[in-house]
Amino acid sequence: MGTDKALLEVDGVALARRAARALAAGGAGEVVLVGASAAVGDRMAMDVVPDDRPGEGPLAGLATALRWASGRGGAEVLLVAACDQPDLEPALLAELVRRVDAATVAGAVPRTPDGRRHPFPAAWRVDAAGALAQLVAGGARRMADAMALDVEAVDAAAPTLLDLDDPDDLARRLDRSWSRPP
């Protein structure tokens, strides 16, 4: 993208702020930025949790988030999202949490209409922190590796899962001509 995605604006709101609002509306009690710089945290007026393994990808970031949550006590479920998903639906986020609360699964992820499981947003049982840390310590780097754990899929509309990977994606989203499936 050429700049920090968290600070990019869609409809006048920074992507990190959009994700934070969706997470809060979906039931998150506290929202933090994992792996963001202190400068981004300051600009967003949000706490930052330093990534335990910077540059090692989203699976390592998820493991960091779960380690952080397990050290705080209290919450049994962690709700996570990527900051580059501008159209997250709070109802989907709440359903992901409900599914983890209602079952003995490690996590819940969305499933697109074509049957693909999408790694973000997701809800993860905080006690899965050890299993995720072991995956990362063993060399796993892809979110698909986390799907080998007991993860439930929740049906979701594809548009809510779309992410902005490059300037063309952002341009399409800004002019509302987005059509690429996730």
Buried/exposed 130-150: b ≥16 CB within 10 Å, e otherwise: ebbbebbeeebeebebbbeee
Q: For the chain, which residues make up each domain, given as ranges?
A: 5-170
Q: Which value, in Å, is the radius of gyration of the alpha carbons in the chain?
A: 15
Question: Are 95 and 122 a contacting pair, CB within 8 Å?
Answer: no
pLDDT (average), residues 38-50: 93
Confidence class of residue 169 from pLDDT cuts 50, 70 and 90? confident
pLDDT of residue 34: 94
Domain 5-170: top CATH class? alpha beta
pLDDT (average), residues 30-58: 92
Confidence class of residue 4 from pLDDT cuts 50, 70 and 90? confident
pLDDT of residue 182: 42
Sign of CA dihedral 56, 58, 64, 66: negative
Per-residue pLDDT of 89-136, as tens digits, reads 999 999 999 999 988 899 999 999 899 999 999 999 999 999 999 999
